[in-house]
Amino acid sequence: MTASPISHTLRPLAVLALLGIAAFPIYWMVVTSMTPSSELFAERPNLLPSLGQISIYGEVFRTIPVARWLWNSFVVAAGTTVFSILLAILPAYALSRFRFTGIAILGFALFATQMLPEAMLVVPLYSIFGKLSLLNSLFGLILANTAFVVPVITWIIKGAIDGIPLEVEEAARMDGCSRIDIVLAIVLPLIAPTLAAAAVISFFHGWNEYVFAQTLISSEQLRTASVGLASFVGELSTPIHAVMAVGVMYTLPAVIFYLFAQRYVVAGMTAGSVKG
């Protein structure tokens, strides 16, 4: 395919436009966080951040338990990631490699869990968690999130395992591997890029999750950042620049985690096919 000169110039412009649409809100969040309240509703909006206002971040840290919230969010996100991946690998392997009665129903049931909205499940979940004394605990929140993430990443991991030639596993069996040896020594290293992608998905789910965090946690101490951020919206006033500052801090770790994981995801895509 040869690109005509017009599309040659238009394509980068289109990319820039899309990038602008996606990135502008984040930029606006940064700018707003550094704009004094008095100028927020000025007739001419301030398009450049007033760097002098950077002290707002220190102030937010002093007055609001942002660090605590972020830490809680991190615990929940990391816990969700670890549990989900550990729990998804074996079912994914079974779905990919074993043929048994009911495999289609099982596969469908995994998908079906995704059709139910969180808001619908939150009430029964609340009562179950109450009986199991899992309310007001980050571990309980991790479990709830894990239950939602496992089906999704099970399917993703299954897809990756499908791509591994069966002969490679048979070669390992000839070399004396048991099934679990095969999964740990052969399959996992080969699907590492997919595991990274699955980690991104589960981490973000845990990091962003709001409904469960709001309902299952009542202690101020255990509040996650998503809930904390929402708690700013006061009845009388909303300190917009503080909200934006916390928002920036809430976004940054996620971006950093993504950049970290993305290296592996992309490395996997460019490292050549899995085929021996």
Indicate whether 267 belongs to the interface with other proteins (CB under 8 A): no
Cα 51–chain centre separation: 31
CB closer to other proteins, 197 vs 249: 197
CB closer to other proteins, 30 vs 82: 82
Indicate whether 162 belongs to the interface with other proteins (CB under 8 A): no
Give the shortest CB-168-to-other proteins separation in angstroms.
Answer: 5
Indicate whether 82 belongs to the interface with other proteins (CB under 8 A): no
User: Which residue, chain included where needed, has tokens 């946690």?
Assistant: 217
The SS3 of residue 271 is: coil
CB closer to other proteins, 122 vs 190: 190
Residues contacting other proteins: total by CB under 8 A: 23
Query: Which span sits near other proteins by CB under 8 A: 28-36, 86-94, 179-187, 249-257?
Result: 179-187
Give the shortest CB-195-to-other proteins separation in angstroms.
Answer: 13
Give the shortest CB-82-to-other proteins separation in angstroms.
Answer: 13
Of 197, 190, 184, residue with least CA distance to 156:
197
Indicate whether 171 belongs to the interface with other proteins (CB under 8 A): yes
- Residue-wise DSSP of 150-213: HHHHHHHHHHHHHTS-HHHHHHHHHTT--HHHIIIIIIHHHTHHHHHHHHHHHHHHHHH--HHH
Indicate whether 186 belongs to the interface with other proteins (CB under 8 A): yes
Beta strands in the chain (DSSP E): none
Indicate whether 190 belongs to the interface with other proteins (CB under 8 A): yes
Indicate whether 173 belongs to the interface with other proteins (CB under 8 A): yes
Query: Which span sits near other proteins by CB under 8 A: 5-13, 162-170, 201-209, 214-222?
Result: 162-170
CA–CA distance, 216 with 108 (Å, rounded to integer): 28
**Cβ atoms within 10 A of the Cβ of 63, count?**
10
CB closer to other proteins, 164 vs 244: 164
Structure tokens at 186: 């052969």
CA–CA distance, 56 with 62 (Å, rounded to integer): 10
Is there a contact between 80 and 149 (Cβ–Cβ < 8 Å)?
yes
Give the shortest CB-91-to-other proteins separation in angstroms.
Answer: 19
DSSP annotation of 145 reads: H
CB closer to other proteins, 190 vs 248: 190
Is there a contact between 152 and 84 (Cβ–Cβ < 8 Å)?
no
**R_g of the chain, CA atoms, integer Å:** 23
Q: Which of 165, 220, 221, 238 binds other proteins (CB under 8 A)?
A: 165
Name every residue whose Cβ is closer than 8 Å to that of residue 147 and which is 6 or more positions away in sequence: 113
Indicate whether 172 belongs to the interface with other proteins (CB under 8 A): yes
CB closer to other proteins, 234 vs 276: 276
Name every residue whose Cβ is closer than 8 Å to that of residue 8 and which is 6 or more positions away in sequence: none
Indicate whether 189 belongs to the interface with other proteins (CB under 8 A): yes
Give the shortest CB-120-to-other proteins separation in angstroms.
Answer: 40
Site residues (vs other proteins, CB under 8 A): 165, 167-168, 170-178, 181, 184-186, 189-190, 272-276
